[in-house]
Every structure is written in structure tokens, then in C-alpha cells.
A and B are shown apart, each in its own frame.
Chain A
Amino acid sequence: MKKGFHMLSLIGATALFLLFSITGGAAASDLAPFAEQEGALRVAGGTAHIPVMKEAAKQIIQSNPKIQISIAGGGSGLGIKQAGEGLIDIGNAGRKPTDEEISKYDLKLFKWAIDGVGAVVHPENSVKSLSSVQLQDIYSEKISNWKELGGTDRQINLYTRDEASGTRKVFWKKALSKGEISAKANVVISNGAMKTAVAGDPFAIGYISVGHMDPSVTPIALDGVAPNLDTVRSGEYKVARGLYSLSKGEPSGLAKLFLDFIFSPSGQKIVAEKGFIPVR
């Protein structure tokens, strides 16, 4: 379903372009290398990366309609695996691949943004801030009612990501200090699905990439520090990670051009616009 959606939105983005022929914000010089190119590029993996990937792909396709770029989700685990097996050209991961994975698949890593992962609740929830210990207790079910945290007398609905998710790994390691995540938690399969689930459930708690946060969910301040661009950039908010793109061996052809574009001023501008912290 996820894949279908992203394909759909990609088609939608292209269709929009054809209708209005918007001239993108990218400097022409950054897109110049794509001028003589044609072919297809397959990108999949981490779901936090998708907004940036989609915008980059849109600008590239606008500059040269002969290039096809497909962007799918699937999670960091899938991104690492499929890039390593050569099934896709670029795999995305919201965590650093393990040394074992890097050596086994001969992966080359490209870290193009810094991103935070923050706990989120429904905007109507009166609980807006938690301590690390409270968060750990919530996820291990020691605290199971919002009343214990000063909220309404309703059971806390836990949401988590599938085990192959990089967002889950980072949140588990840095926000929960590798504490238990209850097996009773609902499991959703992307950052987007998490946002939809929490935005629709007044008694939910979940966690998403800071770049994906918008007014439909309320970020929870952890130990008094709210997860946002400024606190992640300054290092004050600790639950942060790099966003990586991976290729099997040195990237070549379109994959190389695509990665170069992400690192170009236009690409890094997209990164910042989508709510992440550029590396350059």
C-alpha cells in the first residue's frame, strides 16, 4: 500500500507539473548535469527520507522528463537490504548500517541530513511534556493511563514501528535507553502512517521524525526539551540521527547525479525546507 501511495504521489507530482509547468526553485546549474541523461532510477527504504526524495525527484523530472525516478518506502531495513542486493539503485536508511552490513554488501554511505525523532500525541491531549523515565514507563506499560500523567482517565494507546524501522531503532536506543517496547503496542509501517494514526486517535502516543511533524500532532517535550529543528541542530535534543542514502559500491550514472544533487545547494535547500538539518 505504501509503495502504491508513493508511486501515486509521484505520478501526482508529475501530473501537477505537466498541468501548471511550475518552474522549480532549484538553481539551473545544479540540475544541469541531468540535461543529457535518460533512464530510470529506483529509490526505496527509509520513510523519513520520502519528502526530500520526492521533491528532489520532482525537480529533476521537471528539468528533464526523460528521467524516471520511482520512490518507495519499506523502512530502513528494506533500504539497506535491497540496495545491498542490487535490487534498487539507492537505498535509504534512517540509521547507520552496521559494520557487518557495510562490509557484506560493500555499501557506500551518504549522510545528507540530520533528523530528530520525537514522541508525539494528539493535539487535544493535555500532556505536553514527559521525562525520559515516564516515556520508558509508558512504552513498557508501567504507566498505562493518561490520568497518571495528569491527562484524562483513558488508557494510553501505544503506537510503535516495525522492527526493521530506523526511526524505531533510534527512538529505542536514545529516547527509551534500550528499554522495553510492549508487545501490545500497535505497529504501523511508516512515518506517514504513524502521523495519520496519532492524528486520528486522541489517546495515542507514537514517535515520528522531526521533519514529518506538523500541526496535526503535538510533539512531546522530553525532559523539558521540545523536539524541533533548533534543539536538534544545537544538540540540546538528544534523540537525533543521520539520514543516509546508500549505494552498492561507488554510485555511478543517474544514482551518482542524484546524490550529487542532494548535496548541491538546491538539494540541501530542499532538505531544510522539508524540516531536516542540512549537512552542508
Chain B
Amino acid sequence: MNRPHSFTEYIFLTAAVCSGLLTAAVFIFLFIFSLPLLQNGQLTDLLLSSWAPDKGMYGIYPMLSTSLTLACLSLAISFPVSLGCSFVITALAPARLRRFLLSMVRLMTGIPTVVYSFAALFLLVPFMRNILGQGSGMCILTAAPVLALLIAPTMIIFFVGSFEKVPRSSTLAVDALGGSEIQKLLYVMIPLAWPGILNGLLLGFGRAMGDTMISLMLAGNSASPLNSLTQSARSLTSHIALVMAFDFDSMEFKSIFVCGLVLYIFTAILMLLLRMSTLCFSGKR
């Protein structure tokens, strides 16, 4: 890299370094505050036991498993839908419809999650309660589709972007050979756009893990260990939101720093995977 020489470049450099340091500072902050718990060798206890403050148990296992299940399930719903949407937007729809669809998707990225959860609270929750025939209707199965709706636009935009980067020469070659649009997508575009698809997938997963409002309002927030998808459950993020109100000195409050740390580390590992996968794939070509 060239050494920066203009004033503007220095400003940008400082901004970049500062934001990088801030991210590190958040990690250090979380780490220092969870240190008392980690030093007592309670980490495995915390990660693997359940949450019962009355009995002196501050484990986050139920929340961790809920977060992971919820994220995976919503991704499983959202991924095929998003992939299909991006096919339609890139190739299958007439040009005018494509532009309309893409602007709709862009609009969707801006909708706050509380709006989704609020609508689902009055529409989806009673519906699920009737269908399931038991329980309150607030469960992972209710939260997952809404979460899928939330992460879909991010993934669609990413997918469309990577499809558009497929060299025109390749797609023209398919046309020249008389291949159909579907064949073009399946045998040329997907293999070539694969790294971008993976990136979008990981980004969607990260968003699903990190969202608070949807699981807080729709999943029921029960802290009992996860046994079924139709049971009320609490995600890591809602757990932090629910326990925030405790006294600073209480064990409950201290334990949420570990929650934060776990969330941070999970997201960091994901981003690392993302970078590595991108490097890996681009290295091959």
C-alpha cells in the first residue's frame, strides 16, 4: 500500500483505524467484564447449564441452543426463497418487473424489525395457536418465518449482485448453444456466483443470530431448555434484553456479559469464515 500523503487520506485513515479499534474495544470490554466469571472456571458451567437464578444457576445453554436453532431454521426457510427471488430478478422476469421487484426488495431492507414482529403478534401468533392446538402460539416455529422474512432482502441483494458479476461472455455462450434460462442459471450462473451466494448466506445467518425484537416478541421467552420447536423459547439476544434491568452487582447482570461475549465470538467466527471462503474461492480462479 502507498503511504498516505494528502490531508484527506489522513482523515480517512484515522476514521478507519478508529472504527477498527472500537470493534476491538467492545470485545475487550466484554472480555474484562466476563473475566470474574471465566476465572472461576465457570465457563463450561455457564455454557452448558440452564437458567434458574433462584437456584443459583446462571447458565445460558437454553438461550444458546434457541438462538442457533432459530437462526438455522430461518435460514433454511429464507435461503431457497431468496435464491428463487434473485433468479427471477436477474433472469426470469421481464425487465420492467425486475426493476420493480428489486426496488421492493431494497424497500424491505429498511423496514424495522419491530414492525414485522408487531404485525406477526396479531396475525401469526393466533394462527399458530389454532394450528398447533396447544400452547400460546409463541414459539420458535412462529418466530422463524418472520425472521426469514427479515433476512431475505439482505440475501437477495447479495445474490443478485453476485449473479450480475457473472461474465457476459459465459451467459452469451449458453444462449449461443441454445440453452434455456433455467439451464443457464443452474449450470453456469450458480457455479460461477457461488462465493457471493455463500457470503450472502453467512451474512443472513449473522443477522438472524443478532436480531432481538422478533424473538423477544414472538418466541415466548421461556428460559427452559429447548425440547421442541412448538415450545416457548428465549434467544441470547432477548435474554440480554430481559436481564438488563437487574442490579449491576447481581450475578444475573454479570452473566449477560458472557452472553454478549458468546454472541460476539460467534459473529466473529462467522465473519472469519466468510473472509476465508471468499479468499479461498477467488484464489482458485
Contacts and interface: CB of A to CB of B under 8 A. Distances in A.
Contacts of B134: 154-155
A164 B245 contact: yes
A187 B62 CA distance: 14
B241 to A, nearest CB: 8
29 contacts: A1-B213, A1-B216, A4-B114, A75-B245, A76-B245, A77-B246, A77-B247, A81-B245, A81-B248, A85-B248, A157-B135, A162-B221, A163-B246, A164-B243, A164-B245, A164-B246, A182-B224, A183-B50, A183-B51, A183-B222, A183-B223, A184-B224, A185-B222, A186-B136, A187-B221, A187-B242, A189-B216, A189-B241, A201-B136
Main secondary structure, interface of A, reads: mixed
A87 to B, nearest CB: 11
Interface in B188-226: 213, 216-217, 220-224
Contacts of A164: 243, 245-246
Contact of B138 (A75, A155, A183, A186): A186
A159 B222 CA distance: 9
A145 to B, nearest CB: 10
Q: Which of A74, A189, A196, A204 has the most chain B CB within a 10 Å cutoff?
A: A189
A210 interface: no
Contact of B126 (A75, A188, A189, A200): A200
A163 B220 contact: no
A134 B107 CA distance: 51
A101 interface: yes
A77 B245 contact: yes
Contacts of A188: 221
A54 B245 CA distance: 21
Contacts of A61: none
A75 B53 CA distance: 18
A140 B154 CA distance: 43
A163 B221 contact: no
Interface in B109-140: 114, 121-122, 125-126, 129, 134-138
B127 to A, nearest CB: 12
A80 interface: yes
Given A77-B246, A78-B244, A81-B245, A163 B138 contact: no
B234 interface: yes
B130 to A, nearest CB: 10
Contacts of B121: 196
Contacts of A85: 248
Name which of A80, A81, A154, A196 has the most chain B CB atoms within 10 A of its CB.
Answer: A81
A238 to B, nearest CB: 22
A74 B252 CA distance: 16
A183 B226 CA distance: 11
Contact of B220 (A75, A77, A187): A187
A188 B51 CA distance: 17
Nearest to B227: A184
A107 to B, nearest CB: 12
Contact of B242 (A4, A81, A162, A203): A162
Nearest to B212: A1
B74 interface: no
B245 A162 contact: yes
B52 interface: yes
Contact of A187 (B222, B245, B247): B222
Interface in B225-274: 231-232, 234, 241-248, 252
B116 to A, nearest CB: 12
Interface in A140-198: 154-155, 157, 159, 162-164, 182-189, 196-197
B168 to A, nearest CB: 47
